Amino acid sequence: MATTVDPHLVTTSIDLPGYRVVRNLGIVRGIVVRSRSVVGTIGASLQTLVGGNISIFTSLCEKTREEAFDLLLEHAAARGANAILMMRYDANDVMNGVTEVLAYGTAVVVEPIA
């Protein structure tokens, strides 16, 4: 059994072109709770003075989403899935400076359409 699902078999759609769903294994998720460091917050505050992209936070958000996505792939594989449909992200503040990022979707087993 694979330890992770191939990212190419993850979609935000209800189907995966070229494949048919043979089994639905239910909802799977990957969750990461991350806090901002004091140094990062100060650096980001300085970046706001000049405007534009706050690269420190952009990098932090991207890394957090990537970690949540990787956990999603692992959870789906542990359930026996080889694909994920209807994949989504959600983010919420847990407390000041602490954010939860959730990646979720429907774990399925697919096979190529002949």
Phi, psi of 28 (to 5 degrees): -130, 160
Q: What is the C-alpha to C-alpha distance for residues 114 and 68, in angstroms, rounded to an integer?
A: 33
CA angle 79, 82, 19 (to 5 degrees): 140
Q: What is the reported pLDDT for 87?
A: 98
Q: What is the C-alpha to C-alpha distance for residues 12 and 16, in angstroms, rounded to an integer?
A: 9
Q: What is the reported pLDDT for 6?
A: 96
| pLDDT tens readout for residues 41-62 | 555 455 555 556 666 677 888 9
Q: Annotate 66-86 with b (16+ C-beta within 10 A) or e (fewer).
A: ebbbebbbbbbbeeebbbbbe
Q: What is the reported pLDDT for 36?
A: 64
| pLDDT tens readout for residues 64-85 | 999 999 999 999 999 999 999 9
Pick the CATH number of 7-35+62-112 from 3.40.50.150, 3.40.50.450, 3.30.110.70, 3.30.450.40: 3.30.110.70
Q: What is the reported pLDDT for 70?
A: 97
